[in-house]
Amino acid sequence: GIQVEQSPPDLILQEGANSTLRCNFSDSVNNLQWFHQNPWGQLINLFYIPSGTKQNGRLSATTVATERYSLLYISSSQTTDSGVYFCAVGADYGGATNKLIFGTGTLLAVQP
Amino acid sequence: DGGITQSPKYLFRKEGQNVTLSCEQNLNHDAMYWYRQDPGQGLRLIYYSQIVNDFQKGDIAEGYSVSREKKESFPLTVTSAQKNPTAFYLCASSIGAWREASNQPQHFGDGTRLSIL
C-alpha cells in the first residue's frame, strides 16, 4: 500500500517565525489533504490539494504530484497554530475501496 | 449549520461489554467512514460505507461492526471481541460514492474517546 512520511516529526517555533512541513508519498494519489489536530483532538481541514498550490491566510500548500510530495507553509506562526499537522492521501483503487492513509504527523509547538 | 455530529464525546466500557458510537451528518454526503487514532499516531480506517445498506471493511475491522440504514447515520459498535478498544474514534464523510468519493475531501466529526474501566 501507499506509504506516507512526514517531516519533521517535531518542531518548536517562536511566535512570528515561519515553517515548512513536508509530506512524501510512495505512489500516485488522487486525494491529498492537510489537517490540523488541535489539543482537544478536533481534526480541522486545512487544504484539499492533490496537485497545485493553494493559500488560505497565513497558510499555503503545494503538491507536486509527479514528484510525490506536498509542502505546508505556515507564516507568522501564532500560539494557536500549535498541535499536530497530518498529511493524508487517497488513491483510486478501482472503486473497490476508498480510504485516506495518514502520516504520523508533525507535532508543532509555538512558543510566545 | 451542516456538519458531522459524534456522540458521546467520552465513553467508558466495561470488560465484555459492547458499546455503540453514534455518527450523524446533515451534509447529504453519500460516503461515510470510521477511523481509529491511537496516541501519537495517525488515523487508521475501520469501516466505510459508500451508500445506504452497503459497507466495507477497512484495515482494522476486527472486533467492530457497523450499519448504514439511513444516509445520514453510520453507527459503530465496538464489540467485546475488540481486545484493545481504548482509542480516539473519528467519523468522516465525503460527497459521492465509489470512485467519485476518492476524488473528494473527507470531513471529520469531533471524535469520541473510548476508555476501558
Strands A106-111 and A10-14: parallel
Chain A to chain B Cβ contacts (< 8 Å): 70
Residue B108 has pLDDT above 80, yes or no: yes
B 29-48: CB under 8 A from A: 31, 33, 35, 40-45, 48
* CA A47 to each of CA A53, A55, A69, B61, B113: distance values in angstroms, whole numbers, following the listed order: 10, 9, 14, 28, 25
Distance CA A59, CA A62 (A): 11
Q: What is the pLDDT of residue A69?
A: 98
Query: Measured between CB atoms, does A98 come within 8 Å of chain B?
Result: yes
Residue B101 has pLDDT above 70, yes or no: no
Nearest-CA neighbor of A69 among A61, A57, A59, A77? A61
Binary contact (A41, B111; C-beta < 8 A): yes
Q: What is the pLDDT of residue A98?
A: 62
Residue B32 has pLDDT above 90, yes or no: yes
Secondary-structure breakdown of chain B: helix, strand, coil percentages, each rounded to the nearest 5: 5, 45, 50
Cell of B72: 445520514
Residue-wise pLDDT tens digits, A45-95:
999 999 999 999 999 999 999 999 999 999 999 999 999 999 999 876 555
| Three-state SS annotation for B45-81 | EEEEECCCCCCEECCCCCCEEECCCECCECCEEECCC
| Residue B79 CA to its chain's centroid (Å) | 14
Mean pLDDT of chain B: 91
Within 13 A of B114's CA, how many CA atoms are on the CB side? 28
Binary contact (A30, B59; C-beta < 8 A): no
Residue B9 has pLDDT above 70, yes or no: yes
